[in-house]
Structure 1
Amino acid sequence: MDKNQQGIELLQEGKWEEALKLFTEQIEEKPEDPAAYINFGHVLAEMNDAERALKFYQKAVEVAPDSSAAQYALGSFCFTNERFEEAAQRFERAIRSGMEEADAYFMLGLSFLYLDQTVMALPYLMRAVELDGEDVEARFQFALALAKTEQYEEAEKNLQQVVKQDPDHADAFYNLGVLYAGHYEEAEKAAEFFDRALEIQPDHMLAGYGKKMLEKTE
Structure 2
Amino acid sequence: MDKNKIGITYMQEGKWEEAAKIFMEAIEEEPKNPVTYINFGNVLSAVGELEKALSFYKKAIEIDENAAAAYYSAGNLYYEGGNFEEAKNMFEQAMKKGLLSSDNFFMLGMTLLQLDQAKLALPYFQRSVELNEEDVEARFQFGLCLAQQELLDEAMTQFEICIEKDSTHSDAYYNLGVAYGFKEDEKRALEMFNKALEIQPDHMLAGYGKKLIEKEQSDIN
TM-score (norm: length of structure 2): 0.92
Aligned to 2:165: 165
Instruction: Summarize deviations over 1:3-61 as a string: whole Å, max 9, x none.
Output: 21122233445544443232223223322221111121122222222221221122122
Instruction: State how far apart, in whole Å, the 2-side matches of 1:157 and 1:101 are.
Output: 23
Alignment of 1:81-120 (within 5 A): 81-120=81-120
Counterparts in 2 of 1:167 and 1:63: CA distance versus 1, 3 Å:
same
Higher mean C-alpha displacement, 46-55 vs 64-73: 46-55
2:36 alignment partner AA: A
CA contact (8 A) 1:45 1:53 kept: yes
Alignment of 1:56-71 (within 5 A): 56-71=56-71
SS of corresponding position for 1:116: coil
Counterparts in 2 of 1:28 and 1:203: CA distance versus 1, 3 Å:
same
Higher mean C-alpha displacement, 166-175 vs 29-38: 29-38
Instruction: State how far apart, in whole Å, the 1-side matches of 2:12 and 2:163 are.
Output: 34
RMSD: 1.6
1:156 alignment partner AA: M
- Percent identical pairs in the alignment equals 52
Aligned to 1:154: 154
Instruction: State how far apart, in whole Å, the 2-side matches of 1:74 and 1:13 are.
Output: 23
Aligned to 2:205: 206
Query: Unpaired segments of 5 or more residues in structure 1?
Result: none
Higher mean C-alpha displacement, 62-71 vs 39-48: 39-48
Provide the aligned length of Structure 1 versus Structure 2. 217
Counterparts in 2 of 1:185 and 1:89: CA distance versus 1, 3 Å:
same
SS of corresponding position for 2:106: helix
Higher mean C-alpha displacement, 56-65 vs 153-162: 56-65
CA contact (8 A) 1:74 1:90 kept: yes
Instruction: State how far apart, in whole Å, the 2-side matches of 1:11 and 1:208 are.
Output: 42
TM-score (norm: length of structure 1): 0.93
CA contact (8 A) 1:57 1:73 kept: yes
Alpha-carbon shift at residue 161 of structure 1 (Å): 1.1
Instruction: State how far apart, in whole Å, the 2-side matches of 1:46 and 1:132 are.
Output: 24
1:33 alignment partner AA: N
Alpha-carbon shift at residue 162 of structure 1 (Å): 1.0
Alpha-carbon shift at residue 127 of structure 1 (Å): 0.3
CA contact (8 A) 1:65 1:71 kept: no
Alpha-carbon shift at residue 198 of structure 1 (Å): 0.6
Query: Unpaired segments of 5 or more residues in structure 2?
Result: none
Alignment of 1:121-160 (within 5 A): 121-160=121-160
Counterparts in 2 of 1:14 and 1:101: CA distance versus 1, 3 Å:
closer
Alpha-carbon shift at residue 130 of structure 1 (Å): 0.8
Higher mean C-alpha displacement, 46-55 vs 195-204: 46-55
Higher mean C-alpha displacement, 65-74 vs 38-47: 38-47
